[in-house]
Amino acid sequence: MQGFEIRDGALAVENVPLTTIAEQVGTPVFVYSAGAIRARYRALSDALAPVGAAIHYAVKANSNQAVISLLREMGAGADVVSGGELARALAAGVPADRIVFAGVGKTREEMAAALDAGIHLFNIESEPELEMLAEVARSKGATARVGLRVNPDVDAKTHAKITTGKAENKFGVPIERAPVFFARAAELDGVEAVALSAHIGSQLLDLEPYRQTYVRLREMALALRAEGYGLTQLDLGGGLGIGYHGQEGPDPQALAAIIREELGDLGLELAVEPGRWLVGAAGVLLARVILVKQGVTKRHVVVDAAMNDLIRPTLYDGYHRIQPVTGCDRPDAGPADVVGPICESGDYLAKDRPLPAVEAGELLAVRDAGAYGAVMSSTYNARPLAPEVLVDGDRWAVIRPRQPVEALIGLDRVPDWIGR
């Protein structure tokens, strides 16, 4: 199930026309297909079942309680990167022993909260972090299970802002240093080093960098075991890309085959941390055309969604397909920029995009906005956060209401020395 299809010339999510949601909830609005998310989860878990790899959903991609709960219901654990995400995963009912905690800068408070919850694994990224975690755990009489995030120095061939596995990135420690870490962890009370982890970047379309990473993980896992360390797990990170141009994208069966070939015989527990692959294609950002402005050299389609709702185009040169919600079969009328109302020239959803002639009041769907859409939105220009809707067959529900503008203003405090 893809979730989105054209019926009678109009775009529908499962059995619900997008026009219905726009009429009842207004625009801009994020709309997700529960069926599409379940189908992706099933495809991935079926592919990974023979290699026995667990799935820890990277909550950062879309952390709405309904989305996390849906994936938890399917059997997913969670990969979190902050105390906030930890709280979100726990609130959505993800069992603590299926939660892993990543990130270069966990605070003592966040470590303490994760220890109190009893999470499965801390992926740690530096010597000072190892010492700090050991200290926090000792102060609680606890022992933290630790995975060492290694940097395999592999080029993930993705956008510079979302690559993480190169030597110059802030992430992980050079893989050659792993024995030093395991030795230090063995000396320290409060930590038990059980895993190696690697995440080389996001939106990978080529699977070869994964193979290179696994080969290095394998060598190091064998070396650590030969030295007598109690390595029991490998955390293989996330990063599996999606076809933003409407193409198929990488096949989870192919990824599973590489995992089996390179790591299948090690007898280690395996886990992956996908975010985008599970939820990205399952969402759209629905916007209404405010007006069409014929500029000196260009057609500007001004819509009511903006860079504060979806920052990927301007931040990563991200490409998102844009299509009219009704009259889907109209011919192109030449290239247009689809822009928002924000006072920045970086405020666009598409540049020089072939688009049919569209009119004020029409609905446009910005595709593949299920991952890194709503979670990265801001209230810049005092634009309230857009609502989120989940469709499941014939049913649909608002899973986050539109933020009232009063809620934005209501957070401010004017000190009493400033005149009213």
Residues at the interface with ligand LLP (CB under 6 A) = 58, 60-61, 79, 102, 162, 199, 202-203, 237-240, 273-277, 312, 316, 371-372
CB 79, min distance to ligand LLP, A = 5
Q: Which two tokens stand for residue 250?
A: 């990488």
**Complex with ligand LLP: residue 171 or 396, whichever CB lies closer:** 171
> What element of type H or E holds 315?
helix 312-316
Annotated binding site for substrate: 276, 312, 316, 344, 372
Distance CA 22, CA 16 (A): 11
Q: Where are the beta strands (DSSP E) in 2-98?
A: 4-7, 10-13, 16-17, 29-33, 53-58, 77-80
DSSP count for the chain of H helices, then E strands: 12, 21
**Complex with ligand LLP: residue 88 or 312, whichever CB lies closer:** 312
Q: Measuring CA to CA, which residue among 207, 192, 355 is closest to residue 287?
A: 355
CB 389, min distance to ligand LLP, A = 21
**Complex with ligand LLP: residue 41 or 372, whichever CB lies closer:** 372
Residue of 160, 296, 343, 409 marked active site: 343
- Per the document, the length of the chain is 420
343 has catalytic annotation:
yes
| Sequential DSSP letters for 325-392 | SBSTTPPEEEEEEEE-SSSSTT-EEEEEEEEE---TT-EEEE-S-SSSSGGG---GGGPPPPPEEEEE
Distance CA 91, CA 246 (A): 34
CB 417, min distance to ligand LLP, A = 41
CB 138, min distance to ligand LLP, A = 26
CB neighbour class for 243 (10 Å; exposed up to 12, middle 13-18, buried from 19): middle
**Complex with ligand LLP: residue 149 or 299, whichever CB lies closer:** 149
Distance CA 236, CA 224 (A): 17
- Give the distance from CA 127 to its chain's centroid: 27
CB 39, min distance to ligand LLP, A = 17
**Complex with ligand LLP: residue 316 or 380, whichever CB lies closer:** 316
Annotated binding site for pyridoxal 5'-phosphate: 239, 273-276, 372
CB 195, min distance to ligand LLP, A = 13
CB 352, min distance to ligand LLP, A = 21
DSSP class of 168: T
Is residue 317 classed as helix, strand or coil in its secondary structure?
A: coil
Q: Which two tokens stand for residue 235?
A: 């955390």
**Complex with ligand LLP: residue 40 or 288, whichever CB lies closer:** 40
The Cα diameter of the chain in Å comes to: 72
**Complex with ligand LLP: residue 27 or 151, whichever CB lies closer:** 151
Annotated binding site: 239, 273-276, 312, 316, 344, 372
For residue 286, the cross-strand partners are: 29, 365
Match 């989870």 to its residue by tokens: 252
Alpha-carbon distances of 417 from 7, 410, 413, 420, rounded to whole Å: 60, 19, 12, 9
Active site (catalytic) residues = 343
